[in-house]
């Protein structure tokens, strides 16, 4: 009996292994088709096969299965023929939006590539059907379900291609972000979010990514929908265990059901659900498993920085100092937690002063190993800001790859556990990260570093904080880091559409509605509840926290308005003609220069004051000004009360003149229907994309004015602020909805003459650093990030000595 059961078990495992190998083989064939065919040849081949299969199944009698197969191939033919011209027009102008010829990447290219992936899969499946349709082993139901799923995906991709054409016709020259008025932007988003998304979360899940990623995405999707069920019963999801995430077998065996539930969750559940789900990695069992696969380090300690002000010397005159105040926004002064990670125990890391600040993370484990020998202080220090959409995760979530970084770089790393939204919205996280950065610069000896080279590093939301902390350091006049490495950063937090953000329709890790809810929470607007949503009550204490947050936000905005009016009056009275990096004080010259961190988050350093009206911070108003024009530029105030209407700028600083002419000619080639302003006219007559059946999406359609603050959206920072940034190295993902954030930010820096590099990895999703140990592709992408950090930490003289000789 046992032998029979063992044989049966081995047989099932063998069948599963065979299916996995066949799936990888199928994906490999689809990949080869994608690489070997251009768009037109692929479309023509697919249309020919679709017509052949359609004719065959039409001749098989009146059966329902044959009728559906004939219908699906007719649909494939129709959608492929309609999609090919739209993709061709986008591909014809996509090169105009690249950073440079060596970096061919932007949202238009990514959208075309994704559509070609879908076409390649349908072409491979059509060939398979044509070759095996007469076989008695032909699995009719399975192939029909897969064809119908990919046909739905192709239909939605065609809709996205038309939306991309609309962006191309509406945007400012060279711009990737939608620059229409706010009402038109809301109309665009309202139309966009009604599209059906479930087809991308079922059988087609992750088809655009490397095959090694898809099993992981399937596991995550099953865990997400299972977690959604438990979340309903447990309200906050706190009672969910790791083992309960994957117990809903019906979602594992029914891709269509899983896709529909995934779509419902992404559209309707609030940011508290996503916070709870993303924090699953904090569960002790999961974090322990992740750490088992990571490098072993001598030091990994959580340190609590006391909320005490301290002085920092100014880089312009070290005899003068500026006061770095503790974080104040929303909740008042409080300690800031940082995690110190070091592969070796270095001098200072076991000092009494540092030990007095160590925060316990649980019961202490008696170590029987001999006390390690101390090594000398490293010349370098890495300051890391974790991702998580500003609402979730901690340094613990990112500890596995940070340990590897510490080993490979030979430098200590501190990762900041900043406060999270919606309980602590902007600018609390920025205040805490800036405070921790300044503390690390001042006390680097305690961290095992001499501080000769300092690098800021972060991913996603952490990349945003890298830029804004560096901008804050320059505004204060304190030491700016030697460089920044930002992985797939968010640089534009406005609700603005772009070609790459259209990919959020199908991205399982960063759907548009989830992205919007995270930004809304960070902006302090997420506390408003929607009466028709399925979100659970926050409970009494949650409501108190929410109402307190709203009150503090209103007080903050009111204080910002008063502060801006005061500064504007003072500026007009003094008739300043230059833009200082920190606000000038009215105190005696010998007194230290002081500035509140909260104040800096809500008001930009003063610029020249003119008689023109204050301008809204949008891309179309950020023109390249020569130094001779700087004194005539009106002040750009960041107070939300003074953000007034603006007019489009005639100055194009993104494209070279010849590129601008080429793009204008491409726009003229669009039909009058495509170039009209109405969103409802985006589709040609007779084409109807699939609409969602999950009801209205609960997501904000209008941005809070505060997202235009350059300390929140660094892409909107004026030129004089961006010129203060150190060398920037960006590592982005070609299939990431945030790709255009990286491309446009790099283009702005390049146009200003700032040192910047952009490397774009293919076929990987947003958040690949957290998947570094998953497969070869994610490991290579993580190594690229380490390489960028190493460039920053290497002194220029040493880098020049090790550089290869010129040819």
> Could you report the per-residue pLDDT of 642-692, keeping only the tens digit for each?
333 333 333 233 444 455 555 555 555 544 444 444 555 678 998 999 998
In what order do the strands lie in the sheet containing 321-324? 310-313, 321-324, 593-594
Res 506 pLDDT > 80: yes
Res 49 pLDDT > 90: yes
DSSP string, 776-803: HHHHHHHHHHHHHHHHHHS-HHHHHHHS
How far is CA 501 from its chain centroid?
10
467-479 per-residue burial string, b: 16 or more CB within 10 A, e: under 16: bbbbbbbbbbbbb
Q: Directed axis angle between helix 182-192 and helix 140-170, to 10°?
A: 170
Res 247 pLDDT > 90: no
Distance CA 637, CA 615 (A): 8
Q: Say what the pLDDT of residue 537 is.
A: 39
What is the percent of the chain where pLDDT is above 90? 51
Enumerate the β-bridge partners of residue 535: none
Q: Where are the alpha helices (DSSP H) in 37-172?
A: 39-58, 64-93, 107-132, 140-170
Tell me the pTM: 0.80
Q: Say what the pLDDT of residue 291 is.
A: 61
Mean pLDDT score, 749-759: 97
689-702 per-residue burial string, b: 16 or more CB within 10 A, e: under 16: bbebebeebbbbbe
Token code pair at residue 319 = 């005899």
Res 746 pLDDT > 60: yes
165 pLDDT band, cuts 50/70/90, is: very high
600 pLDDT band, cuts 50/70/90, is: very low
Dump pLDDT digits (tens) for 410-456.
Answer: 999 999 999 999 999 999 999 999 999 999 999 999 999 999 999 99
Of 592, 635, 494, 512, the C-alpha closest to 178 is 494
787 pLDDT band, cuts 50/70/90, is: very high
Q: Which H or E run contains 192?
A: helix 182-192
Q: Say what the pLDDT of residue 280 is.
A: 75
Query: With the C-alpha atoms ordered 528, 534, 535, 538, is the resulting torsion angle positive or negative?
Result: positive
Distance CA 462, CA 487 (A): 8
Helix count and strand count (H, E) for the chain: 24, 12
For all residues of the chain together, what is the average pLDDT? 78
Res 795 pLDDT > 60: yes
Enumerate the β-bridge partners of residue 594: 323
Pick the range with the lowest mean pLDDT from 51-65, 248-262, 706-720.
248-262
Res 528 pLDDT > 80: no
Res 304 pLDDT > 90: yes
Q: Quick check: 395 and 275 in contact, CB under 8 A? A: no
Q: Say what the pLDDT of residue 203 is.
A: 93
Q: Say what the pLDDT of residue 31 is.
A: 57
DSSP string, 416-454: EE---TTTS-TTHHHHHHHHHHHHHHHTGGGGTEEEEEE
Res 407 pLDDT > 50: yes
38-73 per-residue burial string, b: 16 or more CB within 10 A, e: under 16: ebeebbebbbebbeebbebbeeeeeeeebebbbebb
Q: Say what the pLDDT of residue 30 is.
A: 61
Distance CA 40, CA 60 (A): 31
Mean pLDDT score, 556-560: 47
Distance CA 46, CA 52 (A): 10
Phi, psi of 56 (to 5 degrees): -65, -50
DSSP string, 7-47: HHHHHHHHHHHHHHHHHHHHHHHHHHHHHH--HHHHHHHHH
Dump pLDDT digits (tens) for 691-703.
Answer: 988 765 666 656 6
Q: Say what the pLDDT of residue 668 is.
A: 54
DSSP string, 638-670: --GGG-------S---SS-HHHHHHHHHHHHTS
Query: With the C-alpha atoms ordered 418, 421, 425, 426, is the resulting torsion angle positive or negative?
Result: positive
Q: Say what the pLDDT of residue 221 is.
A: 86
Res 399 pLDDT > 80: yes
Length of the chain: 807
Gyration radius (Cα) of the chain, Å: 28
Under DSSP, the state recorded for 327 is P
Q: Which H or E run contains 268?
A: helix 255-268
Q: Say what the pLDDT of residue 595 is.
A: 37
Q: Say what the pLDDT of residue 385 is.
A: 98
Catalytic residues: 460, 736, 766
Q: Quick check: 576 and 608 in contact, CB under 8 A? A: yes
Q: Say what the pLDDT of residue 251 is.
A: 79
Q: Say what the pLDDT of residue 5 is.
A: 43
How far is CA 425 from its chain centroid?
18
Q: Say what the pLDDT of residue 278 is.
A: 83
Res 502 pLDDT > 70: yes
Dump pLDDT digits (tens) for 118-153.
Answer: 999 999 999 999 999 999 999 999 999 999 999 999
Res 544 pLDDT > 70: no
* 213 vs 188: which has the higher pLDDT: 213
Dump pLDDT digits (tens) for 192-227.
Answer: 888 999 999 999 999 999 999 888 888 888 888 888
Q: Say what the pLDDT of residue 628 is.
A: 36
* 637 vs 225: which has the higher pLDDT: 225
């Amino acid at each position: 009996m046992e032998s029979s059961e063992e044989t049966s078990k081995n047989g099932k495992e063998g069948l599963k292994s065979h299916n996995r190998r066949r799936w990888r083989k199928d994906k490999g064939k689809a990949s080869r088709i994608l690489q070997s065919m251009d768009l037109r040849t692929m479309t023509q081949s697919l249309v020919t096969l679709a017509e052949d299969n359609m004719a065959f199944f039409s001749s098989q009698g009146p059966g329902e299965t044959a009728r559906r197969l004939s219908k699906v191939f007719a649909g494939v033919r129709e959608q492929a023929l309609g999609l090919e011209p739209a993709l061709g027009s986008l591909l014809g102008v996509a090169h105009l939006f690249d950073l440079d010829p060596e970096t061919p990447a932007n949202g238009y290219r990514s959208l075309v590539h994704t559509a070609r992936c879908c076409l390649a899969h349908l072409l491979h499946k059509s060939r398979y059907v044509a070759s095996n349709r007469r076989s008695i082993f032909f699995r009719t139901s399975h192939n029909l379900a897969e064809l119908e799923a990919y046909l739905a995906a192709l239909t939605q991709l065609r809709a996205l291609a038309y939306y991309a054409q609309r962006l191309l016709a509406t945007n400012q020259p060279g711009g990737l972000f939608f620059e229409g008025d706010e009402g038109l932007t809301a109309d665009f988003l309202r139309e966009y979010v009604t599209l059906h998304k479930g087809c991308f979360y079922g059988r087609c899940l992750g088809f655009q990514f490397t095959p090694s990623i898809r099993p992981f995405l399937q596991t995550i999707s099953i865990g997400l929908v299972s977690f959604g069920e438990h979340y309903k019963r447990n309200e906050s999801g706190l009672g969910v265990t790791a083992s309960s995430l994957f117990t809903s077998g019906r979602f594992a065996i029914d891709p269509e059901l899983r896709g529909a539930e995934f779509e419902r969750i992404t559209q309707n559940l609030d940011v508290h659900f996503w916070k709870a789900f993303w924090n699953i990695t904090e569960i002790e069992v999961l974090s322990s498993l992740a750490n088992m696969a990571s490098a072993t380090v001598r030091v990994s300690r959580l340190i609590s920085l006391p909320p005490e002000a301290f002085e920092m010397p100014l880089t312009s005159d070290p005899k003068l100092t500026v006061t770095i105040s503790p974080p104040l926004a929303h909740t008042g002064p409080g300690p800031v937690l940082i995690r110190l990670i070091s592969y070796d125990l270095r001098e200072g890391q076991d000092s009494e002063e540092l030990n007095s600040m160590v925060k316990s993370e649980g019961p202490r484990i008696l170590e029987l190993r001999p006390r390690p020998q101390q090594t000398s202080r490293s010349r370098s220090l890495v300051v890391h800001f974790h991702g998580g959409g500003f609402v979730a995760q901690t340094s613990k979530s990112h500890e596995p790859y940070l340990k590897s970084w510490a080993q490979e770089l030979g430098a200590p790393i501190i990762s900041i556990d900043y406060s999270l939204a919606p309980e602590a919205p902007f600018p609390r996280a920025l205040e805490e990260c800036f405070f921790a950065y300044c503390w690390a610069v001042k006390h680097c000896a305690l961290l095992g570093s001499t501080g000769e080279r300092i690098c800021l590093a972060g991913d996603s939301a952490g990349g945003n904080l890298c830029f804004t902390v560096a901008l804050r350091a320059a505004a204060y006049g304190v030491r700016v880091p030697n460089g920044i490495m930002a992985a797939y950063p968010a640089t534009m937090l406005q609700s603005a559409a772009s070609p790459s953000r259209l990919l959020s329709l199908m991205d399982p890790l960063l759907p548009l509605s989830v992205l919007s809810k995270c930004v809304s929470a960070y902006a302090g607007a997420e506390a408003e509840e929607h009466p028709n949503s399925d979100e659970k009550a926050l409970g009494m204490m949650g409501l108190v926290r929410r109402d307190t947050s709203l009150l503090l936000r209103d007080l903050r905005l009111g204080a910002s308005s008063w502060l801006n009016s005061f500064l504007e009056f003072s500026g007009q009275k003094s008739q300043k003609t230059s833009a200082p990096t920190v606000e000038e004080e009215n105190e005696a010259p010998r007194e230290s220069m002081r500035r509140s961190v909260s104040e800096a988050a809500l008001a930009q350093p003063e610029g020249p004051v003119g008689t023109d009206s204050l301008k809204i911070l949008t891309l179309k108003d950020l023109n390249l000004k020569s130094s001779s024009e700087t004194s005539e530029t009106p002040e750009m105030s960041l107070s939300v009360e003074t953000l007034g209407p603006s007019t489009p700028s005639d100055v194009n600083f993104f494209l070279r003149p010849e590129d601008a002419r080429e793009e204008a000619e491409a726009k003229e080639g669009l039909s009058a229907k495509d170039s009209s302003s109405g969103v409802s006219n985006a589709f040609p007559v007779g084409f109807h994309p699939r609409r969602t059946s999950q009801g209205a999406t609960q997501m904000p359609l209008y941005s809070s004015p505060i997202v235009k603050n350059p300390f929140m959206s660094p892409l909107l920072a004026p030129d004089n602020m961006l010129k203060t940034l150190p060398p920037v190295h960006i590592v982005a993902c070609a299939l990431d909805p945030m790709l255009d954030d990286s491309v446009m930010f790099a283009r702005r820096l390049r146009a200003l003459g700032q040192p910047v590099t952009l490397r774009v990895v293919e076929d990987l999703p947003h958040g690949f650093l957290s998947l570094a140990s998953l497969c070869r592709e994610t490991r290579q992408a993580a190594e690229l990030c380490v390489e960028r950090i190493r460039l920053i930490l290497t002194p220029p003289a040493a880098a020049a000595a090790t550089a290869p000789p010129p040819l």
